[in-house]
Amino acid sequence: MAEIKIKKKTPIVPWILGLILLAAVLGGVYFAFQVDDIYEKNNDNVAMADELPDNEITPVDDATVVGTELIPLEVNTFVAFANEENGYEEDAEMGVHHEYTGKSLRYMGDAIVALAEQKGMTDEINAKALHSDLDAAADDIQKNWKETDHADHIRAAFLKVSTALNKLAYTSNDTNLKKEARDIDPNTLTLNQKSDVKEFIDKTAMVMQKIAMEE
Amino acid sequence: MADKTDNTVDFYDEITLERLEDLSGYEIADGYDNVVGWKVIADKEFRVGKVRGLIASKELGRILYLDVAVDESLRKAGGVHKHIVVPIGLVKLKEDLEIVQIDSIDADAFIDYPHYDGSDIDVDYERLIHEYYEKHSKVELQPYVGREAADYSEATKYDNKTMYGSRFLRGAEF
């Protein structure tokens, strides 16, 4: 003889609600990441003005018109490089920092030449020779990064840069800019700390950008 | 098996009978066949029809009756019933063939089988079914008392010929 038992159905509503909740959470996380990506792409790694950390320099779009002058591409390239945190990490190995410093010197050289041409001061600051000196210093730092006297080489290169920027800024009517240019004197830095190098690069990028934006 | 350990129903509570499709919160338990649509064969080879529905008691947690749709051919041959109700304890299931076999019904049964309109099974109709099978030579039953859970319990009524027996012997003889 037969028997057929019945049972209460397992309620599916809690499962459905749970799945909906999970989907909502996952969707929210996904959406948040998407928004971040879009934000970063749209802003080209530029932080919002009210979120700018200290020493953060905002790159100006190549097509940005200031008065009748364009910001030189080389200056924007250097500013973007200074803003890029990927190449600089406080606790990275020494070789990485030398690589970063070497690159920064090359970009600085390009930017100074472009600034000098913009201001008509190429000969006055001997821009081409400075460019060569900076490239040579970069070569030395990157190829022989295990040497122990790099701090001296870096300081010497930075001194040349700050001297040139002082001259370029001196033509400005902006006294604050002149002061900022003087403040990037590497003599104020010990250069024993990796962060000192980064600080110099950031300040230099900021001053270069301001000089380039002056009419 | 329906008892207090399986269900929350008290031994003397009155049970209810409802079609399984109307019990929205219930379904066939795991390991048991849903026999709806299975062919119903009586007296070895006499085809009665197909299982149309299942009548269940949620208190006891099991099916008590099968609602069988009688074949058109049988009705044309003189049968007047569109549906008949068969107690679950009187059938055997042959799951390999999807056949429900009833040995206690033959063609003559349709002469005085209680007429069923295909809707709910009330107490009066259940009593008629019970009385019909009480007269049957192959079935031994206690007089119908009512719908207390105890009346459907293995502890009080189970034997090899009970209408509501809960022993499941797939394909086995009575």
Residues A156-182 have pLDDT tens digits of 888 888 889 888 888 777 777 777 777
Residue in the structure block whose two tokens are 């190449």: A87
Interface of chain B against chain A, CB under 8 Å? 1, 20, 23-30, 32-35, 54, 56, 58, 61-63, 88-93, 100, 160, 162, 165-169, 174
Per-residue pLDDT tens listing for chain A (215 residues): 678 999 998 888 888 999 999 999 999 998 888 876 776 666 655 555 455 555 566 665 554 544 445 788 998 999 888 887 665 666 666 666 778 888 889 999 999 999 899 888 999 899 999 999 999 988 888 777 666 667 777 888 888 888 898 888 887 777 777 777 777 777 766 556 677 788 888 889 989 988 888 76
Across the A:B interface, residue pairs with CB atoms under 8 Å apart total 67
pLDDT of residue A24: 94
Query: CA nearest A5 in B: which residue?
Result: B62
Q: Which two tokens stand for residue A44?
A: 């080209």
Q: For B93, which of A2, A6, A9 is closest by C-beta distance?
A: A2
Query: CA nearest B92 in A: which residue?
Result: A1
* Interval A104-137: pLDDT, tens: 899 999 999 998 998 889 998 999 999 999 999 8
On whether the pTM is more than 0.85, the answer is: no
Q: For B25, which of A1, A3, A9 is closest by C-beta distance?
A: A9
Question: How many angstroms separate the CA atoms of B169 and B171, rounded?
Answer: 6
Q: Do B25 and A3 touch (CB under 8 A)?
A: no
**Per-residue buried b or exposed e for A142-164, using 16+ beta carbons within 10 Å of the residue's own CB:** beebeeeebeebbbebbebbbeb
Query: CA nearest B159 in A: which residue?
Result: A1
A191 sits in the region (left: phi over 0; alpha: psi -120 to 50; else beta) called left
